[in-house]
Structure 1
C-alpha cells in the first residue's frame, strides 16, 4: 500500500494574487499569497465516495483519516491498497472487503459535514494537563504554523502528549485538519488515546465527535465552542477548553482534567 506522498512546497498550496491595500491613509497596490483549494475525490473499490474541498497537502492522511472517522475502516488493516494523486485530485482506495456498499456520492465544503451519522463515545482517561502547559502548547502550535503566516485563511490542529506536539496539520477546512491527524497517526502507528487536541478554529459538535473517536480527553481551541459541543463534551467526559490565548483560557466542561476543583 502506498503510505505517503511528498508534502508539497508551501507555494504549491497557495496562489499569488494582486490586491489594493489601504494602510496609514494610503492605497498601495501589492501582491499577497492566498490559500489554494482543490476538489479532492475519494474512490473506494472503484466507486466515488466523497468529494472534499481541501488544501492539497497530506492528502494520503486526509484519505485514511476520513475513512476511519466515517466508519468505512476500523483500522489500516482494512485497506488492501491506496493510490493518491495530487495531479488527478483523487485517492483510489481498495478495501480488503470488495463487497463493501457505499452511500451516494456527496460533496463536502470546509464545514466537513459527515456523510455518515457518527455516534459519540465516552472517553475514559486519567489524563490531566496543567493550564500553563496548555497555553505553552498553543503558543508552540502558532510557532509551527507554516501555511498560515504565508497566506492566512487556513486552520491548524495538533495532537499532543501534553509536553510535545506529535502531529500538526493545516487545511482550509477545520474538519480536514483532524482527519489528516487521524490518518497520519494510523499510518505511522501513533496512538491518539490519552492525548490532547489543539485546534485554532471553533469547536463544533462534529469536531468534538472526531476528537472523541480518537479518544482525546482534552480539546483546546483559541475560540469558543458551540453549545452542542459543550453538551457532548459533558456527556463524553471530555474537557473542553476555549479562548486559549496569551495567558488565559476558559474551561467549559470537566475542569478536573486541568486540576481545577469543582467544589
Structure 2
C-alpha cells in the first residue's frame, strides 16, 4: 500500500535499543521509543513544551496551535522555524498575537503527552457545522485491515499511538507519537500547510475516543472519527452535538457507532469480513 506519508519504524532517531532480562532471566535487547521535549512558540510567546518522538516538529507545532484556536483559519503563516539544537519550533504570523489570558485557563485532560485543552476551547465548537459524509462499512473494514497490517513504530517498539487520515477506503497520512493528541496535531498541521480539504476525510486513531479527540477532529472539519478502542461519555456527547460520526471498538467485523448513525451505509458482505475473537469479561462488547 502507498501512503502520502507513512510510518518510519526503522528510523534510528525514533527508537533506542535497551538491554534487559526476560521472565526467565535471559538477556534481551529491545527497541524502545524515544521521547524528546519540543517547545512551541507563537511569535514571541512560549506556548507549551510537549513530549514527542521528534519527527515532523513543524507540522506538530502548526497543528497544535490551530487545534487550540491560537492559529486562526485566516491567519497568514509567515514562517515556521525549527531549531534542533534547542528543540523548539517558532510559528510566525502576520497577525500580532498575545495569549497570556488563554494560557492561564489551561487545564489538564485525560490524554497523554501534550494532552492540554484550554478553558475556552469548547467555544470554538459553537459555529462548527460538519459536512455530510457517507461512511460505508466496506470502506471501514478495508481501512482497518490496511492500517492494522502496516509496518509501524507501534509494531516495532510499542508504547505509541497512531492516527491516520483517510479518504474513502484509502489511508493517506499515518502519523505516530507517544501521545495520540500529538499524532492528530501533526496531521492537522500537514493539512493546514498543504491546503488539504477535510470535508471528504475520515480520521482513524488507535487511541480512545475522548472529548479532546472529538474536539480536535471537529475543529479540523473532519466529519467522521473511528477507532479500535472505546469511548468516553463526554466524547460521545460532543460528537452528537457537532454532528460527528463516531465509531469505536472496530475489531474484525464488529464495531459500535454512538453518534452520526444516519451517515452509515452498511454495504459490506459480513460473511467475507474476517472476525476477531471477543475478549472475555467485557459486557456489551461489539
C-alpha distance 240-202 of structure 1, shift in aligned 2 (>3 A): same
Please report how far the alpha carbon of residue 71 of structure 1 lies from its aligned counterpart in structure 2 after TM superposition. 1.4
Unaligned runs of 5+ in 1: 1-6
Per-residue deviation, residues 44-99 of structure 1 (Å, max 9, x unmatched) = 2222111111110111110110111111222385222121123321002222123x
3-state SS of 1:242 partner: strand
Q: State whether residues 67 and 73 of structure 1, in contact with CA within 8 Å, keep that contact through their aligned partners in structure 2.
A: yes
CA distance in 2, matches of 1:41, 1:221: 29
In 2, Cα distance between the equivalents of 1:83 and 1:107? 27
Alignment coverage as a number of residue pairs:
250
* 1:114 match: secondary structure: strand
Aligned to 2:153: 147
5+ residue gaps, structure 2: 1-7, 267-286
Deviation per CA, 1:168-213: give whole Å up to 9, x if none. 1100001111100000111112112231110000010011000001
Go from structure 1 to structure 2 and tell me whether the alpha carbon gap of 1:101 and 1:72 turns closer, same or farther (over 3 Å shift).
Answer: same
Structure 2 distance, partners of 1:128, 1:33, is 40
The reply to whether residue 125 of structure 1 matches residue 131 of structure 2 is yes
Question: Is the contact made by 1:60 and 1:84 (CA closer than 8 Å) also made in structure 2?
Answer: yes
Aligned to 1:101: 98
**Counterparts of residues 50-65 of structure 1 (less than 5 Å):** 50-65=48-63
Q: Hey, what does 1:197 align to over in structure 2?
A: 203
CA contact (8 A) 2:107 2:119 kept: no
Aligned to 1:69: 67
Q: TM-score, normalised by structure 1?
A: 0.87
Q: Which runs of 4+ in 1 moved over 6 A?
A: 105-108
Structure 2 residue 40 is matched with structure 1 residue 39: no
> In 1, are the aligned partners of 2:161 and 2:179 still within 8 Å (CA)?
yes
Partner of 1:173: 179
CA displacement at 1:40 relative to structure 2: 0.7
Match of 2:116 in 1: 113
Cα distance in 2 for partners of 1:107, 1:18 equals 37
Q: What does residue 4 of structure 1 align with?
A: none
Q: Contact 1:123–1:238 at 8 Å: present in 2 too?
A: no
Query: Counterparts of 2:131 and 2:74 in 1: how far apart (Å)?
Result: 24
Contact 1:155 1:201 in 2 (8 A): yes
TM-score normalized with structure 2 length: 0.81
Shift of 1:111: 5.4
d(CA) in 2 for partners of 1:9, 1:107: 35
Partners of 2:264 and 2:196 in 1: CA distance: 24
* SS class of match (2:162): strand
1:227 is aligned to 233
Report the Cα distance in structure 1 between the residues aligned to 2:165 and 2:137, rounded to whole angstroms: 16
Taking only aligned residues, the RMSD between alpha carbons, in angstroms, comes to 2.2
Contact 2:9 2:151 survives alignment (8 Å): no
